[in-house]
Amino acid sequence: MNVMRTGMLLAFMTALFMGVGFLIGGTGGMLIALVVATGMNLFSYWNSDKMVLRMYNAVEVDQNSAPEYYGIVRDLAGRAGLPMPRVYLIENDQPNAFATGRNPQNAAVAASTGLLHRLSPNEVAAVMAHELAHVEHRDTLTMTVTATLAGAISMLGNFAMFFGGGNRNNNNPLGFIGVLVAMIVAPFAAMIVQMAISRTREYSADRRGAEICGNPLWLASALNKIARGAKEIVNEEAERNPASASLFIINPLSGQGADNLFSTHPSTENRIAALQAMVDEFRQRPAAPQPTATPATPAQEEPEDETPSPWGRDGSSRKGPWA
């Protein structure tokens, strides 16, 4: 189903891209758009992870540079039966995270410094489990390619605003109306498709992430903190690249909230409610083996520890089962 969904998505977005090319430049514009879209699809397939990571100035870390963070991802990947992804850190105060890569064998996960500072190890584990669920479901390729094509369609819309309709020989049967469609309707349609797919995949990744980390309340608590942080702190890189917003666990753009047609993500309240509804289901399951010590539930206060922060920032840390 994931392979079929990816194929259908790429076909639709490519057709939309060609349609915009036709509205701007007629038959010639459509053929040029087809060539460009084909090249972009191939380029995105092989380089989507590098593009997104470079966009956010992500730095790769390992066992030596970020032992606890790296250890969390390693243990979770083992529990999920996934290859170990590359692990990145983003210098950004807004708490957030995303996954990228064309398949599980070439995946990468990234968390912001704000996420590691504001969340407990249990909550960090839940967030990274959510991202690994995207890797497992191959959402990373789907959404990264979608973001690339949506950004390209928007770019063509802007191009149409300045150059569309100026050439009488462009063979565009709709004339100025076609240019308006290219400017407004096509980017809007691409945005709607991108947002609808993003909202659907988040619920699925929340459930699978809770299964991987072993406690849905950890993820519910993490989502609450991340949503508050996203409202308080502006992510300037995301604001400059809004097409990439759907990659994050919580929408990094300012001014986003309700679960409606224009949201890249479901409302946080709806996601938390769905996770809380899973608690009874988890209690009825046999206890899953933990990578290390048995964790405390989020309702229990974890003791403060005087050892340095595993991320070398605020001078304090909280012990958790993923240390």
* DSSP string for 148-186: HHHHHHHHHHHHHHHHTT--TTS--TTHHHHHHIIIIIH
Q: CA 75, CA 243: separation in Å to the nearest integer? A: 31
Instruction: Count CB atoms within 10 A of the CB of residue 22.
Output: 23
- Name the catalytic one among 68, 123, 131, 136: 131
Binding residues for Zn(2+): 130, 134, 202
Q: CA 51, CA 57: separation in Å to the nearest integer? A: 10
Is 131 a known active-site residue? yes
Q: CA 120, CA 254: separation in Å to the nearest integer? A: 24
Judge whether 33 and 15 are in contact, CB under 8 Å. Answer: no
Binding residues: 130, 134, 202
3-state secondary structure of 65: coil
Judge whether 258 and 267 are in contact, CB under 8 Å. Answer: yes
3-state secondary structure of 112: strand
Q: CA 268, CA 202: separation in Å to the nearest integer? A: 10
Q: Could you tell me where the DSSP H helices lie in the chain?
A: 2-55, 67-80, 113-118, 121-137, 139-163, 175-180, 186-213, 216-232, 236-240, 268-276, 279-283
Judge whether 308 and 317 are in contact, CB under 8 Å. Answer: yes
Judge whether 294 and 321 are in contact, CB under 8 Å. Answer: yes
Residues forming the active site:
131
